[in-house]
Structure 1
Amino acid sequence: MKNINKAVLALCIQAALAGQIANAQDSGKKVEDKGLEQITVTAQKRTQSIQEVPISIATLSGEKFESMFSGGEDILALAVRVPGLYAETSNGRVAPRFYIRGLGNTDFDLAASQPVSIVMDDVVKENVILKSFPLFDVAQVEVIRGPQGTLFGRNTTAGIIKFDSVKPTESFDAYAKLGLGNLGTVNFEGAVGGGLAENLSARVSVLSQNREDWIDNAYTKEKDAFGGFDEKAWRAQLLYSPSENFSALFNVHGRELDGTASVFRANVFTKGSNDLNQNFDRDVVYYDGDVDGNGADNNPQTYENYGASLKLEFGFDGMDVTSITAIENAEGLSLGDIDGGVSLFAPADINGDGTEELTYPGFIAFGAVTQDNLDDLKQFTQEIRFASATTDALSWQAGAFYYDSSFNVTSIDGYYGATTVFHENTSWAVFSQLSYAVNDKLDITGGLRYTYDEKSLRVGAQNVNGFALVTGDASIQDYDDINVDDGQVNWELSANYRLNETTSVFARVANGFRAQTIQGRDVAFEGAPSVADSETINSIELGFKSDLLDNSLRLNVATFYYVIDDVQFSAIGGGANNTALINADKGIGYGFEVDAQYVVNDNLMLTAGYSYNHTEIQDDTLTVLPCGANPAFGSTGNCTVRDPRPDGFKASIDGNPFPQAPESIFNVTARYSMPMGNDGEVFVYTDWAYQGETSLFLYDSVEFTTDGNVEGGLRIGYENFANNYTVALFGRNITDAENVKGAIDFNNLTGIVNSPRIFGIEAKINFF
């Protein structure tokens, strides 16, 4: 059922209110310390205070992190919740695309590389499917801005998002959290951990996120045809620590997803405007997409992912040694009705009045439906790291890293049939970093890394069962294997100077590179594979970090400037909807970030963040085909292009911002609590995020530029400290804002929008 059971909801609310009233006699008692917490991070692969690290870093944890996922959100919920961080997708709950300081990659292929690295429990998740592993039982998230090529390697030119789960301890603890919401939303998260025997402890964590289908397919007259999901994930950890000088942490995890790929909505823009028009209905679409002849498939998506890692830590006299070995496996599929509506070749009585519509909504020249299968993804990584373990002024670490990955992607089109390509990637690196405390105020850090990266692509079966072979629009072609490799040295130099006990300033210059990339998706549509050369970034940032007003105000500010040579982009769209990798001559970016946290008093906590990112493509020879433009048919496209068009068709993108790079991000949270009795409090927590002007594609057009997207969340509840439970009403996207997040631009004005308002009740209990 779509709506939460009203009787259950009413009963839960009454129970929460009863608890509040019963504890209201002593409302003036302070129930916990409200001062600013001291945050430690591992951005430099060693534990440090966030205020001492000469890098721009933001962290998420606790209530601020958990509130984002109250309604069953996936990893994309992090978008614009941290200054400088954005995320989006055109592939449902898998294959997220991340951007830091405006730098990311819009490529939707399953082999796409990204300049933002995702690291979960010390293991890099390179493939886009691995990056979408669900978040649960998380201790802390670190958003590390700027190039991190020295310690973390290639493909970190924009930065890193680092997730650390709660680790096993010898002390018993457990929790269970259940949320019920509208649209049949049911979420459960829980964990239990503690000592099993002497020196042996474990922790098991689970997650279940469910939502019923809620979008109608008006073409097939099917109610609640899709839009839902069933996501299960788990993690088991075993920690063996017989002495202070040795520990072994074994981590095994998995996820299973059965849900809906991204929902594309045809002609929801009117030419000359970026406002959603009368064709947009959040609850209804018109899908005729079908690849197997059994009727509309309604954008199904299924994926499985399993992995394991072993982290060994050894302590010797004056030196620590860390080894991390990890494997990941994944497979699955997504299907999308890409045109988002009913094409000319599928007339139907859309309105039920006996009149057949040849195409709906609006004009759709031809249908497009594509299924992508990821098969046999295997990733293996090995890192070994040596680090000093003394109190000397000079500290150091050095190590080596190895990466190996292989998988194949089968793209199935209703006209061209099925085509399979095989990808392989091997990389190795050696690295070192030195830090020297010049005196009690100044620390200097330098790092160096050499990385070698090799990629290959082989084309397998083509146009299997494709009707295009019969019509002559396709043929079996013999493509040579593609092999590319590159080796580069990356470096960094930084300094941190403590002005006093509460304030420090830092400066950092860093270099990094994103390895060469191969794109084989166009082979499925009679196109050739494309290759992008490595991109290299040089970045400088300055900033200060301070804890002020008797440790009640934390204010961290950083400003940056970077230049990227041979910056990689994906030219997506045009009349043939091609996906080609290209290199621009240069790209630049500059701006700043502000992170603030303020404890106003014992009852009120505020946080705020703001970032400004200016990005610019610099290449006066580079052009792309925009929004359905097709010189072969004399079509100049469907949208209002504001770029010069030298030949009347292609758009010059010199001077344009990077795609999907918000110019500004602003977020704010507020938490107000009122003590209730000796053991509890009533609280109100709200969070809001603003996304400034964002161009969705490489070219500049009226229709595919967004601005002023705002979403807010709210939690109102009661927390009991004596019995360790919380009951809260929650809402995500509480204004039900309809924000455009992406688009498909090849044969009509198709848009992708955000999730609807989700509201409900959540209860959590902790055991110690």
Structure 2
Amino acid sequence: MMKLSRMHKRLLALSAMLPMTAMAQEAGQTAPAASGQLETVTVTAQRRTENIKEVPVSVSMLAHEKLDVILSSGQDIRVLAGKVPSLNVESSTGRVFPRFYVRGYGNADFSTFASQPVSLIYDDVVQENPILKGYPMFDLAGVEVLRGPQGTLFGRNTPAGVVKFESAKPSLKGIEGFYNLSYATHGTANVEAAANIPLSNVWAMRVSTLRQHRDDYVSNAFLNQPDSMEGYNEHAERVQFLFQPSSTFNALFNIHQRSGVGSSRLFRANIIKKGTNDLVDGFDAEKIFTNGQNYQNLNTKGGSIRLSWDLGSVKLYSISGYETVSDYNSRGDIDGGNPVNGPGVVPFQVETAGFIPELQQYSQEFRVESKKAGPLSWQAGVYYFNEDARGGSDGYNTAGARTTHVLSQQQNRASAAFGSVNYAVNDALTVRGGLRYTKDVKDFRTLEAVNTVLVGPQSVHADKDKFNWDLSGTYVLNKDVNVYARVATGFRAPSVAAASTSVPITVADAETITSYEAGIKADLLNRRARASLSVYDFDVKNQQLTVVGGNSNVTKLINAAKTKGRGIEAELEGFVTPDFKVSTSASYNFTEIKDPSLSVNKCAQCTVTDPLNASGRVIINGNPLPQAPKWIINASARYNYPLADGNLFVLTDWSYRSKVNFFLYEAVEFSGKAMTEGGLRVGYNWAGGKYEIAAFGRNITGTQRITGAIDFNNLTGFINEPRQWGVQFKGTF
């Protein structure tokens, strides 16, 4: 085990050797930047707009060109994996149902009602159900990744951190907008556009849209169906209205929706070579040997109202959010093969569909913050959350007919009161403290069970209340360098998983975290470079974990007595010359389950490396958390060559993550190998940057990796996104 001091020295040495930046941190400006200087990055990590250097939290910002580059080939939200320190995103359900991990801390639960310790907040509205977390990224002002517990100012399940999206907002200043068109391998088309239109001197509208398409390009060799899988059609829209009748009041109305059809995740039987974590010899990513059906459809809608009043000494905010899922169905051949012949032959058949016929989520927050200048500032508020969701799963036989049906309902209500205080002790030292009280109540019941006998009771009730707090201090060493320290707690409410024929409805008790963090943030070389470094250590009590499979399709929730984590994160960006900008970032995350009493069923066909107890179950004490890479490293570089009428540029970006375990136990076959993916972009912009044309590639080395697996009676897995080559044109008006 590597000691923290050694990790610290190792990453500091790496930081000194590499030309670090963060093209991953281009964001909003508070002051114009001179040629060869970095723009000032502002974030809302503490619910106020602040210079990122002054915020006592480990936070990264992605915006503008960085988002454009990684999204150019029609990617969904999973593309954020590994693009900033300590962030991983994965899914066993394809373009919907993403699972987020920060500092190795997340949840691999794939059930309909899964909760996560990383909260996703879109335009100040929490997206609680994992289906809502997959809303596409388009026309964004920025994405903030807040690492560590955010349990006082943000309202839902934030012990690991927050991923925060902010849409570009309407403006009264004039008509403006953009269009962004790309076409790539496999007929992948991405169309994004937005228009800002002032309607009067007090009303403005912003309309944003996204269209994404990919052709089917994977053939089902068993059913002789060429190019029948892995395609999708998706569109999303957002309309916002700004009403600003005076300098003391404004209202922002947001209406959005998402619709998509296409393939669900392709599970591929027997693609892992026994005794290794390699793909089998002769593996062909464009073929599958399955006898099951595969499809996915989704429709979501939502809206929010954000009101702001300037009352002189204070500002008052009201944020009302409403989200719905009106149709979600994802069907796949979970065994990944067929019972007859070929590389996909499997010993038994499992074909299921997860569905949500109805989900409604309402949230309301009132917040007041001080406005007067002085050493003391504060904010306080109340929060309410209400979710009513119905969902379940269907099973199918080899002929494709539905054989079983389970429908459940979860009703979740939560309320909270919170406050925080900032106090400038002197010109150099500022301290901050926050407190939040939360009460969370869940009622879960089975509504229908057709052709299946579920064990245990038909309903459960769970409720918990908790105080969370944080305390931090920021010290200004000089005008360019700040240091900070922070201790914070977090809380995730109890989670519930539906019953099966062998496992009753299970409830995982609430989990809590205490985290210690310290860091340094600096502007360097007259703002030609920027650096940050943070170290942390956390303890999670009663962490909620998900037990899956073994040799059957079940999900069960358990609690680990304790999980420990520690690590280090570094980011550096800067201009080598006014036309040459480079970046890199790195993180080391160590996690360990600490519970000698915990054991799980082992896989049937894999090579388990953990010890077994007397019952033949795997002891997971000492294991890292699933999907928790120790290392995440990013590097990018952009060279601009000025011409008479425009600029020629070359941009490359690379991301690396070390190996991960797929499940709670450690097995040779069920660990994902280290993965490096790179991108390349060559383009030309002109008319002062108004127009741009570019050729691009994503995953340019054609890296193929197993990124997840199904723990059944065979070696079934799924893989990363394929290599893409394409062209892009964008313009502004």
TM-score for both structures, normalised by structure 1: 0.89
CA–CA distance in structure 2, aligned partners of residues 80 and 704 of structure 1: 20
1:475 match: 453
| Aligned equivalent of 1:460, options 420, 438, 447 | 447
1:321 match: 316
- Could you tell me whether the CA contact under 8 Å between 2:548 and 2:555 is conserved in 1? yes
Amino acid in structure 2 at the alignment position of 1:116: V
1:423-462 equivalence runs, <5 A: 423-462=410-449
- Could you tell me whether the CA contact under 8 Å between 2:290 and 2:344 is conserved in 1? no
1:286-365 equivalence runs, <5 A: 286-289=289-292, 297=293, 299-330=294-325, 331-343=327-339, 347=340, 357=341, 360-361=342-343, 363-365=345-347
- Could you tell me whether the CA contact under 8 Å between 1:686 and 1:715 is conserved in 2? yes
CA–CA distance in structure 1, aligned partners of residues 455 and 77 of structure 2: 39
Deviation at 1:693, TM superposition (A): 2.2
| Aligned equivalent of 1:263, options 262, 266, 270 | 266
Structure 1 position 548 matched with structure 2 position 514: no
| Aligned equivalent of 2:179, options 168, 176, 179 | 176
CA–CA distance in structure 2, aligned partners of residues 476 and 563 of structure 1: 36
1:31-70 equivalence runs, <5 A: 33-70=35-72
CA–CA distance in structure 1, aligned partners of residues 440 and 731 of structure 2: 47
The alignment-based identity, stated in percent, is: 43
Structure 1 position 566 matched with structure 2 position 542: yes
Amino acid in structure 1 at the alignment position of 2:195: V
**Which deviations, in whole Å up to 9, do the C-alpha atoms of 1:676-717 show, x marking residues without a partner?**
11x410001111000112111100111111232011111100
- Indicate the SS of the match to 2:448: coil
Amino acid in structure 1 at the alignment position of 2:256: H
**Which deviations, in whole Å up to 9, do the C-alpha atoms of 1:529-553 show, x marking residues without a partner?**
1110000000000000001112111
Deviation at 1:526, TM superposition (A): 4.6
1:78 match: 80
Between 187-196 and 72-81, the greater mean CA deviation after superposition: 187-196
- Indicate the SS of the match to 1:197: coil
CA–CA distance in structure 2, aligned partners of residues 685 and 270 of structure 1: 37
**Which deviations, in whole Å up to 9, do the C-alpha atoms of 1:610-637 show, x marking residues without a partner?**
000000000001000122xxxxxxxxx2
- Could you tell me whether the CA contact under 8 Å between 2:295 and 2:331 is conserved in 1? yes
Structure 1 position 379 matched with structure 2 position 361: yes
CA–CA distance in structure 1, aligned partners of residues 141 and 370 of structure 2: 26
**Which deviations, in whole Å up to 9, do the C-alpha atoms of 1:349-403 show, x marking residues without a partner?**
xxxxxxxx3xx42651101110111111100000000000111110000000000
Amino acid in structure 2 at the alignment position of 1:651: V
- Indicate the SS of the match to 2:478: coil
- Is there any run of 5+ residues in structure 2 with no aligned partner, and where? 1-32, 398-402
Question: Which one has a bigger Cα radius of gyration?
Answer: 1
Structure 1 position 391 matched with structure 2 position 373: yes
1:214 match: 217
CA–CA distance in structure 2, aligned partners of residues 477 and 547 of structure 1: 60
Deviation at 1:477, TM superposition (A): 6.2
Structure 1 position 248 matched with structure 2 position 244: no
CA–CA distance in structure 1, aligned partners of residues 507 and 123 of structure 2: 32
CA–CA distance in structure 2, aligned partners of residues 736 and 118 of structure 1: 31
- Could you tell me whether the CA contact under 8 Å between 1:555 and 1:596 is conserved in 2? yes
- Indicate the SS of the match to 2:361: strand
CA–CA distance in structure 1, aligned partners of residues 114 and 224 of structure 2: 36
Amino acid in structure 2 at the alignment position of 1:590: R
CA–CA distance in structure 1, aligned partners of residues 560 and 212 of structure 2: 41
CA–CA distance in structure 1, aligned partners of residues 125 and 453 of structure 2: 42
CA–CA distance in structure 2, aligned partners of residues 424 and 544 of structure 1: 43
1:673 match: 640
- Could you tell me whether the CA contact under 8 Å between 1:60 and 1:141 is conserved in 2? yes
2:29 match: none
- Is there any run of 5+ residues in structure 1 with no aligned partner, and where? 1-30, 290-296, 348-356, 467-473, 628-636
CA–CA distance in structure 2, aligned partners of residues 270 and 373 of structure 1: 33
CA–CA distance in structure 1, aligned partners of residues 502 and 299 of structure 2: 30
- Could you tell me whether the CA contact under 8 Å between 1:150 and 1:490 is conserved in 2? yes
CA–CA distance in structure 2, aligned partners of residues 32 and 732 of structure 1: 32
TM-score for both structures, normalised by structure 2: 0.93
2:722 match: 756
- Indicate the SS of the match to 1:66: helix
Deviation at 1:723, TM superposition (A): 6.8
CA–CA distance in structure 2, aligned partners of residues 478 and 572 of structure 1: 18
- Indicate the SS of the match to 1:417: strand
Structure 1 vs Structure 2 CA RMSD: 1.3
2:574 match: 598
Aligned length: 694
2:278 match: 275
**Which deviations, in whole Å up to 9, do the C-alpha atoms of 1:584-608 show, x marking residues without a partner?**
0100000010011111111110111
- Could you tell me whether the CA contact under 8 Å between 2:119 and 2:158 is conserved in 1? yes
